[in-house]
Structures are given as C-alpha cells and as structure tokens.
Chain A
Amino acid sequence: MQKKIRFKFLNNQTYAKRLKYIVLITFKILLTISVYAQDILNKKLTVNLIQATPIEALEVIKKNSGINILYGENISAFRKKTVTLESGITIQKAIELALKNTDFNYEWMNGNILIRKKQKKSSTENTAYPKQVNQSTSVIKGTITNPNGIPLSGVSIKDESFNVQAYTDDQGNFELKSVGGKSKLITVSAQGYETEKITWNGEALNISLQDKIANINEVVVVGYGSQRKSDITGSVGSLSNKRLENAPNINLSQAIQGGIAGVNIQTSTAGAEPTDNIMIRGRNSIKASNAPLIVIDGVAGNLKDVNPSDVKSVEVLKDASSAAIYGSRGSNGVVLITTKSGKSGETKFKYDGFYSVQSFANLPEIMDGEEFYQFKMERDSSSMTSSEKNVYELNSWVNWPELAFRKGMSTGQNLSLSGGFYSTNYYLSGNFQKVRGLAINDDYKRVQLRTNIDTKLKNWLTIGTKTQLNFIDATGVAATFGEGQGVYWFNPLTTPYDENGKQNIYPWPDDPHYTNPLQGLLAKNIDETYQVISNNFLNIDFPFLEGLNFKLNSGIRFGFTNDATYYGRDTNRGVTTAGDATLKRQINKNIVLENILNYNKTFNKHHIFLTGVYSFENVKSNSNGLNAEGFPNDILGWYGSQQASLIVPNFSNSETTLLSSMIRINYAFDNRYLLTITGRNDGYSGFGFKTKRGFFPSMAFGWNINQESFFPWKNIFSQLKLRGSYGMNGNQAVSAYETISRMIAENYVYDSSTLPGYIPSKLGTENLGWESTKTLNLGLDFGIFQDRIYGDINLYHSNTYNLLLDRTVSPVHAVNSITQNIGETENKGIELTINANLLKSANFSWETSGNFSIIKNRIRSLYGLIGENGKETDDVANNWFIGQPINVNYGFKWIGVWQLDEREEAKLHNTQPGFIKIQDISGPEGVPDGILSPAYDRIIIGQRDPKMTWGLNNIFNFKDFSLSVFMYGMHGMTKENSLLSDAVGRTIRLNTTKKNWWREDNPTNDWYANKLDANVQEGYTAAPYENASFVRIKDISITYKLPQHTLKSLGLNSLKMYLTGRNLFTITKFGGMDPELNNQWDVPLQKEYAFGLNLEF
C-alpha cells in the first residue's frame, strides 16, 4: 500500500520536488520505526565514547546498534558531559549508563526503546528505577475498526497514566506494552474520528471508532485558525454537508445557493458554464465589487476553481468582527473553503459520478413565420421585401432558436483516495466534468487533479501541501444570442441554409445587414485554461512554550489562458474582412505569503487564543493578443496570421500588491464570557500615494448564558449564546492604476503609414483610498433538546462610507465618469437559521434546515452637495437617490394605453389612442402639467436587489431511502422585462415576443398598438417593469443507500444511488425568461435530471 503511493509520486513528474521530499522523509522515518530490536539489546557496543551528554551518548548507541530510540520527553536539557562508554558492554548497559545522571529511564516498547521521565512514586520508597522493565509490563491488545467494521491502521492507542503509546497495523491490530496494573485509562484517537477514552480491565480492546460528527460543538474555521463554535463571538455561517453531498454540483456556488442565511447567490447567466453573483448581506458598494473574498485553504481564489467533491467545509464570515481578520477585503464578507484531508486509517476509495440530461426551463415565446408575416404586414406592408414574401409563400420560414439549440447533458466523474499512516495523511482526487450546454457548441470540459498531503515530521513540525491542477476547455463558439442579430430576434422569413446545406452568409438576401446568427458555429476556436493552485505550509508547534504555533503559508495561483478564434470566408465576418482572427493569451499569477503566529492556552478558567499575521499578496496579470484581417486563404486559420494584411497586436498588464499585518485576541473566561479584539493594517498599491494604508479594528463579545449557574433551563437549552460585535472592514476592490491619469492610442494615418496618436482618456484621482464599512452585529445562537433544534438569529446594521464611486461627471470634462471616494450607504438586516430534527424513529426521520434574511439598503449620502431645497442633491444621471436603495429602476412610468375615449386628452400629449400612455407625474409647479419632461416625470420604479431571501431544505429518511427537497426564494425586486422589448426596427427587421396588441376592437391596456412609434409619447418611452420575486424548487433528490449487510458481502463501505431533478419548478409573476438571469435574451436556464452513484470502499 505505502509502496504503491510512493511509486505513484515518484513517477509523476508534475508534482513539485517538495512533495517528493516530504514523502521521502516520511518513509525514512517509518522504516526506522519498524526495525525490530529485541536481540539487539544484548549486542555489544563497538565504539568508545568519552564525556558525552546523555543525548549524544544515546545517539551514538542508536547509530552503533541500529536500535531505534524514541524520546518521550525532552532529554536534551541534560547538558553535562558525564557519560563515558567503553566498547564491549551490552547495549542495554550502555543505555543505562547514559541515563544514569538523569531523571529518565527507558522502556522496551513495540520494538523500540522509549526514553521517558521516571514516574513519581508517592511514598518514601526509594527511587530505584526498574531494571527489568518487562517484569511489570502489562500488554494490551485489540483491534480498532471504523463504524462499518473496517480495520483502521495508524490509530494511536495511548496509556494516559504512563504516557506510552502504540499504533495499529494494517489489520487494525495493536499491542501496547506498558507498566502498571490492570485498570488503565486508554485513549484511542485517529484523525477524523471521535476520540475514545476507555478503562482497560485486562481484556482485549475491540473498538469501533465513530466518525466525527459536525454539530453545534464542531470546530469552525475562522480565518488563520479555527475555534470551537461555542467560543465564537462573530457571525459565522456554515454550509451543511448535506448541501455539499446530496446533489450533483458543477460548481460550488450551486451548492451554496440558498444554503446560508444572508448569502445571496444569483445565477446571472445560464449555459454550460453558468456565472453567479454572490453577495453577503446585501449591497454595500456602488462601484466597487460586492463579491465576498473567497479563501480556499487560506489563499484567496475563485469558487469556480474548486471541485465541489473535494470540499470539506464552507464557512462564511459575515460580520465585521469575524471578517476583520481579512481587513481590507472583508467588507463584503469572506467565504472560507477548506478542502478535504486524509485521515488515519486504511486507504478509502471514493467514487462519485453522475450523468444528467438538460432541457429548457423556459423559452421566450416569439412569433413564428406566419405570425411575424401578419405582424409586419399590419405595421408596414411596404417594408416587406420580396425574399421575405417568397419564404412566406413557400411556407419555408424558420425557427431560428431551434437551429441554435440541442438537448443538453452533463456528466461528472470523481475519484478520490484518502487515508493516513502514522504521521502522514493524504487525500488525492481526480475529477472530470463535461457539459454539453443547451446551445450548440456551448461546451465545457474540466479536469482537476488534487493532492493534499500533510506529514508530521516531528511532533512539533508539520509540513504539507494542498495542490490542484486544473484544465478547462471551453472551446466552441455558439450561435449569436442577445439583442439585434441574435437567434430569438432574427427574422423568421429568411433562409438559414442554401440548397446544399451550407450556411447562407446572407440569410435575408434583401437585407445584407443581417448576417447569419449561426455563423459562430462555423468559426474555428480554441479556448483553454490551465491552472496550478498550490498552497504549501509549514507548521511549527513550539516545544518550549505549549500552545505557541507558527505557520508559514505560501500560496500560488498560476493560470494560463489560450484563446483564439478564426472566421473564414464561409461566414459574414470572414467575408467582409477577408478572414478574421482574434487571439489572446493571458497569464495570471497570484502569490501569497503568510506568517501566522498562534498562541492557544488555558490557565485555570482563562482561555486565550492569540493570532498574529503578516501577509504579502501580489497579483499579476499579463496578456497579449492579436487581431488579424485580410488572409490570403482560410487554410491555416489563425496560424496563418503572419500572412494577413492587417495585424494588430495588443497587450495588457496589471499588478497589485497588498501588504497586511494583523493581530487578534480571543479571550474566554470559564466558557461563559468571550471576547475578541481584532486589528488589521492593510496597504494596497492601487491607491493614492498618501492613502495606501488603512487600519481596520473590531471588537466582539459573547456570553454563553446556558453555562451560568443561575440559568434555569439547562435541560432544555444545550446552547444559548448572546453575541455582539462592532468593527470596521475595508474594500479595495478597484483595479490597478486608477489613480493615474492617462492617454490612449487614437491613431491617424498618412498614405498607408500609421501616424501614432494619443488622446486623454482617463482622469485619475490621486487621493483614492479605502472604502470602509462599519458593522454592528447582534446575534443569538441556540440549541435546544440536545441540539435537536439549533440555529441562530442575527441583527446587523452597517454603514459604508468613502465609497469608491464612478460618479458621472459633466461631459464638458471630456469623460463620462471618474472614480472618487464619496458618499455613504447603509445596510440593515435580520438573518435567521434553524436546523431541526423534527422526527426521529427507527425507520423514519425528518430533518429540516432553513434560513431566512431580510435586507434593507439605502444611500445615505453622495457628494454632500446641498441643493436649493436644503436637501442633499441626488445624482439623477447615475440613478442614485439619497434615502433610496442603491440599485433602483428609474424612468418614465408606463400606465397603459391611450384608449378611444381619451382621444382628446391624448391629443394634448401629442399622441393618439392605441399608443403608450406614460404617467404625467408632476411639473414645475409640483402638479401634473400636461407635458412629459425628464425633470418632473421620471420616478423610481422598485429596487433591483431582493429585499428578502430564504432557503429551505427538507430531508426525509425512510429505511434506506431518503428524499431531499431544496427550495429557495427571493422577494421584493423589480426588473425590466426586456423580453417584451418591441425594438423590431423601423422597417420591422426583427422578431419579437407575442403580445396582446391594442386594436380598436381590442382596447386592451396590456400592450400598445402594432404601429410605428406606438411606444413613444412626446418623444419619450417607458420600459415594462415587473415584480421579479420568485420561489424555486431547486433540487429534488431521491437517494437509496445499500444496507450494511449487503455492503459487507460486496466488500464495500457504502453505496449510494440518487436521482435528482434541478430547476424543476419556478413560481413567479415575472414574465421574462427567468427572474434570476441578467439577460432575458440569452441562453435559457436549464432544467436538469441527473442520475448519480456514490461508491466507497
């Protein structure tokens, strides 16, 4: 087994040298341990030694005899050179001599010599140490297994009273030789299992260890360390393992979606590689990113980087106190992801696989050829071209979306092996994902390999690595979606293919402006990304001061992207440019170095946990690309770029550095009173000369009420904690060089030579600095009936000021906007998380976990400019209004259609029945003035971010079956239903969705008449806004677990099969394609049915 792993490492050239090194050292130690030395004791010493210290003498003996000497305690404190040995004495004698002047003796244990302190004898008995250790030896034997009865190797069995220990072998057997009588306290421990304490009474110990259960007393990762949950003062949310394991997740954000209170994940685009916007506790920033900091194994990264199967835990730091440790980047919260490690025991193989089929959840309902023809004839028959007529008469009109879509599928195959032996733990995994998106050519393939190894070189020194290699292939150009020339909009009275099945370059011969929306399918393309993400650490537990620990964390994320596209002469783009190539190669490098010092100590009732961090982070990104046009032929594609007539190379470059130092003090008294103080200083290169540094302090307290002696309901509340925190975080999320004014190239020409030119393009702000958020958080954690129901409630209030803002400036400055630190926003909210085991009987159980949050957000101040009315001036140009949410819809309000009986009134508004009716809200006198004007008649029409979000997961277990239903919802947001957009063009060149158009015989208010300019009143138009609240049943999974007895006969640990349906139902009033998606004219959200298998042996 061990050999096999080693073999694998050595043959894999891609692993860092360092990894080999770790493994080799580990093996060296292991081999040494396993040498048997019984006979050696009687061997003769063959060297002479004069005046050595005890430890030097022992080392010489060790070398000379080949015996293994282990030091139970630190013997190097004896520095007197008192030992003299002569060759010819027995090894046993030599050891005794070496220990003569110390208070140590030795024991013969497990084939090793263990040097340990003499036990204090209670009485007056003289301290004669036993010469014949064997005489008083007690031998404890037994077998250790996991809950499924599988033997565990490398488990530590320790005699607590004499401080000796042994480990289990491959069969889970152990033999512990110790001193003393037949009633001993034995501790059995292995990583990943609950530690067992047992009194040995002379019989063989056959123990089955229990898996460590995550519950209210779990250890929670809190950034640069971990804490017991009961000791935490801040607001930390954890994702339940069930969300992680139960459904096939292509990326981690799918698992987190709706799973943690206050964490809002919106799927903004669908497709093979969906994108998600993550927001914790709402929107603080206007320009700067609202995305939280994602920390993967201590290093900042991206949710997409991680294979969800590799994830052990996801924690979200929400309030200022807990996030303050990440200082500058913590203002939007922090997501901490920890990947799995191996645990002691024999190698566990685990296979997860799923296969799913996808179809649309919803598609826009556009007009078919027949309907479009009628629509166009009705609006303007003169604009009907002869080729359209022709297509119509031949009945050969086309459904463009059908040509761009297919049945989708996705599959994921994941294999991992993990385990540990003695002081080394490993977790290796390989993952393959393939998605065939709903749009043709929307493909995504990903291969991920992960190696997590840690090894304890010494009992004070651990080194390890968590390394991942990714390969992502998103090659393929899909058809065109979106406004204008996309497949939904495309005129159906056209011809996509010629008689030979070749794409028509001009599917509408009479209007060559319209190019075939399928042309992307003919493009040559490559789009590959390679990534190395490696986090290597070294951990020192200082032996001379218990509880003091130093960790050096070095992380690197290296990414390379290779992207190239070529449009040949079989496409419109290629025809007009004589071949068109676009190439881009990008290198991203992100290096982190962290020095972390932790001190964790309990004195009587005082517990302190100190953390100090000094960290350095450098992010570099560099790209070069090429646009080439005018190829002599299409043979080579982009490889023939050197023959192109126009070759335009381009470059980009960016580098930022973040330097931080941090200190955190956690103090607990008697498990009842908890205090956390954090301070962090950050320096960011992207800010102005004098404003690079920021200091972010925070403070928090906690009170475990149920620990108080006076607390009356101890038998009801297993946990009751009141928490409060106040602190400040920053946001530096502006890119590099924002402070620098610059010019961009704007070239002129003379004959056929370029005249290089530059014009001013960006106004830098020299004193750009930190955007800061102050947050007050009050929380209550509770657990009742032995944690049968547990959860937490949080109330918070945050103010963000010195906002990094792209404010619109007057075009007179020659720019549209400039970045400044101005204004203040406010967020208030309440969050609730509840987990409950509602029912529990032998065959049936029902668990539910839910979360719920309400967010209220508003702009408190912008530029501090006071207007004529004495109030602060809004920024209408940017749609920012004092006292209103940050993201609002602003415009004219559409209130219906001018009806026949309103003809006279309509006339006053320069319009007519059947045309859009826009509300005349006010005028210069404060009352409606009968004239539409931007100054008085535009209003706020709802906010775009949800006011309330929730998620609810129910799991029903019946015998070996379980059913899990996960749903979530977002409420209170208003979105423009851009699907209705009637922008068919003046000569009706584009298709649109079917509507209930106004006619004299159909005087509806739903939609205006099918007439040119019917959407315009007095030169203005209004967009259709709709309530975009929704409830979605995200996942329904049925799982079957093979029962234990069957598993045993198959030699398996576990076998699980499941069937999952995803995005099956959405309840919403929103009329667009999907209330969550940003673009209603893009690839639709997929409905998915997956079958999966989990196997463990």
Chain B
Amino acid sequence: MGCASAKRICIWVKLRILIKNKNMKKLIFILSGISILIFVISCKDSWLEEYPPHLVTTETLFTNLEGFESGLNGLYALVRGEREGKDGSSENLRADISMLGTDNIVPNTRGGIGFIALTWDTRNVSTDSNLSSIFLWLYKIVNAANTIINQAETRKDVDWGTDEKTIEINKNRVIAEAKALRAWAYRHLTYCWGDVPLNMEESTGSTIKTDWERSSVSKVRNLMKEDWLFSEKYLDVEPSKPGKISKGAVQHYLSELYLTIGKPDSSLIFANKCINTPNYKLITKRYGVRATKPGVAFMDMFYDGNSNREQGNSEALWVWQWEYNVIGGGGSIMRRYHSSTGPHAQIAISGIQPLAFTVERGGRGIGREQPTKWAINLYEAKDDRGSNYAIRKYYILKTAGENSPGPADKLPPGYKYGDTIKLKWDKDLTGLTNISIKDYPYIRKYDFALPEIIDLSQTYNDQVYLRLAETYLLKAEAQLKLADINGATETINIVRRRSNASEISASNMSLDFILDERSRELIGEEHRRYTLLRTNKWLERVKKYNFRGGQTANARDTLYPIPQVVIDANLTKRMPQNPGFN
C-alpha cells in the first residue's frame, strides 16, 4: 500500500506546484510521466504473493511436539464424533452404524440409520446420506492420521525434544497414537463395507485419484495389524492424557482383530497381555460420586465424575471426554438416542403425566432406539446388570425435595409419593410401523444431566468407551475357539461374579452363550453388529430376536452398500458395488 499512497501524495504535491507556478508545467508533465513509470515498475509481482496470517498449514503446524499434539487432538475430536450426531448436529447418531439393527438394539422410531435398520430391504441403499457422511467421516480420520504419520516420519525440521532418547520416545508415541486411530477407522470401514480403498498417504491437491480400487479385507486388516502392533510397542499403559488411547486398548483391539482373522491363539496372547496388566482391574466395589447412594458397583463407572481412570475407574482402557460450554467440549447424543425419559414423561395416568425430568433420572432422552425384549429378559433377577440401576424398568414417584433441582412428580388420582410406576416390555417392539411404545425400558449407561439445564439435547459427561470386561469376553471367545472350555467358563465367571450373577458351568459354554453374555454386559456399549458379523451370527440372530426390522434383513445386508458418491467420483475405474445392491 505504501506505493499507492506515495503516488497519491505525489499527485497532490504536484497539483500545488502547478497552481503556484505555471512555468513549471512542462517539468510537471515530465514528473508525472516518471511517477507513472515508477508506479508501474515498483508495483510488480511481489504484490501478488499471498501471506495468509490466519491460516494453519501442515508446514507451519508440524514443527515441534506441541504441533503434533494438536494434530492428535484434532484426530481424537474426530474419533469422538462416533457418539455425536452427523455433522455436529444432535441428530443421526453415528454410533448407530455399529449398534443398531442387531439382536439387542432396535429402532423405536424411524430416521437416520434407524430407517435402514427398520427396513433393510428398501432403505439400505447406496444413496443414503448417512452412509456417505459416515464414510467421509472415517476417511477424514484416516487422512488426519496419515498426515501426522507422514509428517512425523519424513520431516527433518521438527523439534521433538532435547536429547536423543526423548526425541525417540516422543516421536514414536505420536506415530503410535496416530496409527492406533487409523486402524480404528479401518476397523469401522472393513466391518461396514468389506473391501475398501486403502489410503495410507497424506492427501494433497496434486494427488487426486479417480481410479481407487477396493483392497481386500484381508489386506486392509493386515495393515491394521501392523499399525496396532507398532502402537502396542510404543504406547504406555496409562494414556498420555485422559481421553487418549492406551496400550491396553490397543491390545484389546489386537485381540479382537486376531479373532476376526481366525487366529485365536494370537488373540489370547493380546487379551492376556491386557488383562494381566496390573493397572487394569475390573471394578468390583462401589466407588466415586455415588458410592454412598443406593446402587450397584457395575454402574458406578458410567456416572459423571467416575468414568476416568484417575477418578477410580481402573477398568477403563479408553475414556472419551466431553465438557459443557468449553471450546472443544463437543456433545454426545448417546443419551438422547438411548434414554427414553422423554416418552416416559408423556406417560399419562388418568390424564396426568406424572414423571418429571430430574438429574437422577438422567435428563431428557428421546428413545430413538431400545433394547429388545429378548435382551431385557436375558438377566437373572439377581444380576446387577439387569437391575433398575442399569436398565430403567420402573420409577418411584418423588417429591420436589427428592427430585431437586427438578420439580416434584405429579400425582395421578390414587397415587402417593413412593409409589411405583412400572414400565412394560411384555409386548416386544415389533412391526415396521411408525408406532413407538412410550412406556418401554431403556439402558441407563448414558444417563447425564446438568443440574442447571436438565433437558439439553446433548450430554457432556466423560464416557467409558472401551473397558476390560470386554477384553475378558474376547479372551473367553479365544479360549472357546482353542477348545479351552474350562478356561472360557472361568473367564466368563470373572465378569459375572462382579455383577452378582450366578456362576456358570462348562456345560453352559458355547459361542451363543458368550454372545448372550456380551449382550448382558455390554448392551449399548459394544459394536454389537460387528461382534455378530465377526462370529457370523448377525443374520441368524437378527431374524431370531429382532422383530422390529430384523425380518427385512437379508444376507446382502451384512455389508452396507458403497456410497454412490464414492462410485460416481471414481471416474476412470469402475468401482464394484457390494453384492446384492443396485
């Protein structure tokens, strides 16, 4: 701009001279000619260069450890999106892709993935926008991880630390975290779509491909294995920060992967590595924020204030972080989708809708998906995991004091405080109609409410994402596959004992029993669809136990169709669709 303003000043000075002295006319004309020339010469190409002071580029970011940490933070924020809505909204829960439409969780209303899970035959189509959005989201994770890995491995100008040992530790830990999360994304991709394009490069504007090929599942899983083996080597038992992935979580995933690819012996090794780590222990006693209140040990780790390892949750392998009204705090919609307090508040007895939203009841959920009758009935009476603390089966009418800071429940005629309002599941969720059942039980693992604003649509508690109990169940499965029936039985019993369920004997042991046990323990947590696909039981069990959508499923629906945009954008090579899809 200096050039321009100098020019303007020049013109005005010139003008003054002109007016003062006519005789200088010619001189002035020469001057003006020169000034034009100067302007032309001085304002050259350097003016056309761009210096964006407000943009972050890989070039400027990945110069030191701190930069790589923020790259990882971005990656974790993306990963956490699994329990958030599509595109940051409070609708279309992404986790549904791995949980909904199974033997234990079904849609209670239509919409999002629920549409597919209700009508597999007509709605599981390549143009579904949820599928393309989730596909893109997973490849964003892949690319963010690729970028970190590539930058860390190839750049020479990075300040990793002061001495050689620190440099090595920091660099390997950063790469290990990125690789663990890349494999995590491919785990979703392979279970959902089977063969998928394998992208291991950092995307740039000059490397656009129009001829992607789908790599075979086994090839992709092989690379996942390599990623996780690397991570397992360089990650610590305790995560570098709460919210980040631990060595135990990676061992858990390796154990699962080896089961998937039919290597139970290797699976057992990694399950044992994880289980035998002294830092990781099942929760067997009451602890934390509600320790003195009525409840069961099993549920303590799901309460806000209890989930993190440093809050006493020794069972957690990976805990995801949220926070209300903090930048980066995000917002989970697991409660919104799983909890049914919204419909329950509409239960009317003699025209009165008695139930209020309270902190203890976990705020307001809209019950988009619910456990099947089969899943609720899996529990013995004494099993803590089937108690009212874990699965809401009834309400006690409470006074304002007991409900504080929520209002008192309203009393229908003939009721008094302390009375019970029972929910019903004698009629299973069935059919394909739109009818949603209001007074149906729900899973309480995601109960959360801010005392100030009880009915927010998102929740902000830290949530256990992966825990040791599931590793035990993987171990049992590996033992079963290796024909160690007694070992498998004992492994299962370790998990059952904690919840006061009766011990089982070796004669009970079977793959189906393990799957049942997984539902009892992990309902609403595990990626049930993937578990059933891994054990080749999805279609069978969905037909057997899921009467709300299961009857529309077919063999083709063990995979989702490749999103149409992926096929359409692959201009120079025809990308095959999964079998059975148009």
Contact across chains for A814 and B582 when beta carbons are under 8 A apart: no
| CB of B18 closer than 8 Å to a CB of A | yes
Whether A810 lies near B197 (C-beta < 8 A) is yes
Per the bound structure, the CA–CA distance linking A463 and B136 in Å amounts to 59
Question: How many angstroms from the CA of A815 to the CA of B144 in the assembled complex?
Answer: 11
In the complex, A764 Cα to B207 Cα: how many Å?
11
Contact with A along B60-87 (1 / 0, CB 8 A): 0100000001111111111010000000
Given the known inter-chain contacts A646-B326, A646-B327, please indicate yes or no for A512 contacting B127, CB distance below 8 A: no
Residues of B within 8 A of A750 (CB): 241-243, 321
Whether the pair B563, A1019 counts as a contact (CB closer than 8 A) is: no
Chain B residues with CB under 8 A of A554? 8
Q: Are B57 and A683 in contact (CB under 8 A)?
A: no
Contact A742 to B55, CB < 8 A, known contacts A463-B15, A648-B327, A758-B74: yes
- Partner-binding segment picked from B44-52, B248-256, B484-492, B505-513: B44-52
Of chain B, the residue at the smallest CB distance from A892 is B127
Q: How many residues of B contact A (CB 8 A)?
A: 110
From B132, B208, B582, give the contact of A934 (CB < 8 A): B582
A residues less than 8 Å from B39 (CB atoms):
593, 595, 614, 616
> How many angstroms between the C-alpha atoms of A995 and B124 in the bound complex?
29
Contact A757 B205 (CB under 8 A): no
CA distance A619 to B12 in the complex (A): 24
CB atoms of B56 and A743 under 8 A apart: yes
Asked if A811 contacts B434 (CB within 8 A), the reply is no
As a 0/1 sequence over residues 520 to 557 of chain B, the CB contacts with chain A under 8 angstroms (1 = contact) are 00000000000000000000000000000000000000
Which residues of chain B come closer than 8 Å to A661, judged between CB atoms?
Answer: 40
- B219 interfacial by beta-carbon distance below 8 Å: no
Are B80 and A593 in touch, CB under 8 angstroms?
Answer: no
Complex interface residues of chain A between 202 and 231 (CB less than 8 A to chain B): none
Which of A550, A655, A743, A1016 sits near B57, CB closer than 8 Å?
A743
Q: Are B569 and A736 in contact (CB under 8 A)?
A: no
The answer to whether A812 and B139 touch across the interface, beta carbons within 8 angstroms, is yes
B121 to chain A: which residues have CB within 8 Å?
A: 910
Q: Which of A538, A629, A751, A1012 contacts B323 (CB 8 A)?
A: A751
In the bound complex, CA of A618 to CA of B4 (Å)? 10
Closest partner residue, chain A, to B69 (CB atom): A755
Complex interface: stretch among A407-415, A428-436, A870-878: A870-878
Please name all residues of chain A whose beta carbon is closer than 8 Å to the beta carbon of B327 when the two chains form the complex: 646, 648, 747, 749, 754
Among B293-301, B371-379, B387-395, B448-456, the one that faces the other chain is: B448-456
In the assembled complex, the Cα of A683 lies from the Cα of B346 at a distance in Å of 66
Contacts of B147 in A (CB 8 A): 760
Residues of B with C-beta under 8 A to A544: 26, 29
Indicate if A813 sits at the interface (CB-CB under 8 A): yes
C-alpha spacing A544/B326, complex, angstroms: 72
Q: Tell me the minimal C-beta distance from A348 to chain B in angstroms.
A: 30
Contact indicator B203/A740 (Cβ below 8 Å):
no
Q: Which residues 675-726 of A sit at the B interface, judged by CB distance below 8 A?
A: 683-686, 692
Chain A residues, Cβ within 8 Å of B4: 591, 593, 616, 618
User: Which residues of A lie under 8 Å from residue B582 when comparing CB positions?
Assistant: 931-935, 1018
- Does A183 lie at the interface of the complex (its beta carbon under 8 Å from any beta carbon of B)? no
Minimum CB–CB distance for B484 against chain A, Å: 41
The yes or no answer to A7 lying at the interface (CB within 8 A) is no
In the complex, what's the smallest C-beta–C-beta distance from B202 to chain A, in angstroms? 8
Q: Say yes or no: A747 contacts B50, CB within 8 Å.
A: no
Known interface pairs A618-B1, A747-B328, A755-B73; A873-B57 also in contact (CB < 8 Å): no
B55–A737 touching, CB < 8 Å: yes
Contacts of A745 in B (CB 8 A): 56, 74
Shortest distance between the CB of B69 and any CB in chain A (Å) = 8
Most buried by B among A457, A736, A755, A935: A755
A863 to B571, Cβ gap below 8 A? yes
In the complex the two chains form, is A748's CB within 8 Å of B453's CB? Answer: no
A803 located at the interface, meaning its Cβ lies under 8 Å from any Cβ of chain B in the complex: no
Report if A461 contacts B (CB, 8 A): yes
B212 at the interface (CB under 8 A from A): yes
B143 touches A740 (CB 8 A): no
**Beta-carbon nearest neighbor of B126 in chain A:** A934
Q: Which residues of A contact B80 (CB under 8 A)?
A: 748
Option from B8, B15, B566 in Cβ contact (under 8 Å) with A810: B566
**B36–A614 touching, CB < 8 Å:** yes
Known contacts A591-B4, A812-B139, A986-B111; is-contact A756 B127 (Cβ 8 Å): no
0/1 string, B1-34, CB within 8 A of A gives 1: 1011001100110010011001101100100100
A815 to chain B: which residues have CB within 8 Å?
203
A639 beta carbon closer than 8 Å to chain B: no
Q: Are A756 and B209 in contact (CB under 8 A)?
A: no
Complex Cα–Cα for A206 and B475 (A): 115
**Nearest B residue to A877, CB-CB:** B568
Complex CA gap A910/B125 in Å reads 14
On whether the beta carbons of A76 and B139 are closer than 8 Å, the reply is no
Give chain A residues whose Cβ lies under 8 Å from the Cβ of B19: 25, 457
Q: Mark A850-892, 1 if CB is under 8 A from B, else 0.
A: 0000000000000101011000010111000000000000000
With known contacts A757-B77, A759-B140, A808-B568, A1019–B110 Cβ distance under 8 A: no
| Chain B residues near A935 (CB-CB < 8 A) | 582
Contact A875 B1 (CB under 8 A): no
Q: Can you name the residue of chain A whose Cβ is closest to the Cβ of B40?
A: A614
A809 at the interface (CB under 8 A from B): yes
Residues from 257 to 311 in B contacting A, C-beta threshold 8 Å: none
Q: How far is the CB of A191 from chain B (nearest CB, A)?
A: 23
Residues of B close to A818: CB separation below 8 A: 205, 208
Of B74, B109, B136, B568, the contact of A746 (CB 8 Å cutoff): B74
Assembly CA distance A750 to B242 (angstroms): 7
Q: Does B404 have its Cβ within 8 Å of any Cβ on chain A?
A: no
Rounded to whole Å, the gap between the CB of A546 and the closest CB of chain B is 14
Which B residues are CB-close (under 8 A) to A25? 19
Q: Which residues of A contact B126 (CB under 8 A)?
A: 934
Q: Within 8 Å of chain A (Cβ to Cβ): is B325?
A: yes
Closest-by-CB residue of B relative to A18 is: B12
Residue A540 at the chain B interface, CB threshold 8 Å? yes
Q: Report the nearest A residue to B563, measured CB to CB.
A: A811
Chain A CB within 8 A of B230 CB: no
Interface pair B570/A810, CB less than 8 Å apart: yes
**Is the pair B76, A760 in contact by a Cβ cutoff of 8 Å?**
no
**How far apart are the CA atoms of A813 and B209 in the complex, in Å?**
8
Indicate whether A841 reaches chain B with its CB closer than 8 angstroms: no
Judged by a CB distance under 8 angstroms, whether A15 is at the interface is no
Cβ 8 A contact of B565, one of A380, A763, A877: A877
List the A side residues contacting B142 at CB < 8 Å: 814
**CB-based contact A1012/B434 at 8 Å:** yes
Instruction: Kindly report which residue of chain B lies nearest to residue A811, judged by CB atoms.
Output: B136
Chain A's closest residue to B127 (CB) is A934
A752 touches B139 (CB 8 A): no
B162 at interface, CB cutoff 8 A: no
B154: interface (CB < 8 Å): no
Asked if B210 lies at the interface with its beta carbon under 8 angstroms from chain A, I say: yes
Choose among A18, A578, A754, A933 the residue that contacts B328 (Cβ–Cβ < 8 A): A754
Choice from B32, B109, B202 contacting A540 with Cβ under 8 Å = B32
Indicate if the CB atoms of B40 and A757 lie closer than 8 Å: no
Quick check: B326 and A749 within 8 Å, CB to CB? yes
Q: Let me know if A652 is at the binding interface, CB within 8 A.
A: yes
- Interface presence of A542 (CB below 8 A): yes
Task: State whether A692 touches B45 (Cβ < 8 A).
Answer: yes
Identify A743's interface contact among B74, B135, B330, B565, CB under 8 A: B74
With A510-B346, A811-B135 in contact, is A756–B328 under 8 Å at CB?
yes
Q: Given contact pairs A76-B23, A757-B72, enumerate 10 new A-B contacts (beta carbons under 8 Å).
A: A383-B434, A512-B455, A591-B1, A736-B52, A743-B61, A748-B243, A765-B205, A812-B139, A876-B568, A934-B582
What are 25 contact pairs spanning A and B, CB under 8 A?
A: A386-B348, A543-B25, A595-B40, A614-B39, A646-B326, A740-B57, A746-B73, A747-B328, A748-B243, A748-B328, A756-B328, A757-B71, A757-B76, A759-B77, A810-B566, A811-B566, A813-B143, A814-B142, A818-B205, A818-B208, A865-B210, A910-B122, A931-B582, A933-B582, A1020-B125
The 4 A-B pairs at the shortest CB distance, nearest first, are namely A747-B328, A757-B73, A933-B582, A814-B143
